[in-house]
Amino acid sequence: MPRPPVTRHHPQPRGSAPPRRSLDGLVLAPVADQAPGQVGTRTRFLYHEQGGEIWAEYEGGDVVRGHLVGTRAGDRLDFRYVQLKRDGTTSSGHCVSTVVELPDGRVRLEESWEWESQPGSGTSVVEQLDR
């Protein structure tokens, strides 16, 4: 008589992280202004996420139009960005962000960025505007 198939249960390891929060459809804004002519508190980012890919459109303040595209691995984002400013100039750079869930359930991105089209680098924080 054939044996029934063995079903194995693989429980989640103790202390494993809960499922990560998707960025898809979230609107985020910087908590502080950067240097003049750059992203600032009036800039709004609309994020999208699917299958480890992330992208966003952004505008506001000195930025007429901006786009970012990259990847997500766990709570780490790695992306490139390009933007058109009100003075007609363009700029681009690279950013690595960490996704943090705030106590009130909103999302914060803690970012380290570097321009690739001009000198400069720094850190910034953007937070979800709505819940």
For the stretch 48-85, pLDDT in tens is 999 999 999 999 999 999 999 999 999 999 999 999 99
pLDDT at position 12: 42
pLDDT at position 7: 45
User: Are 29 and 129 a contacting pair, CB within 8 Å?
Assistant: yes
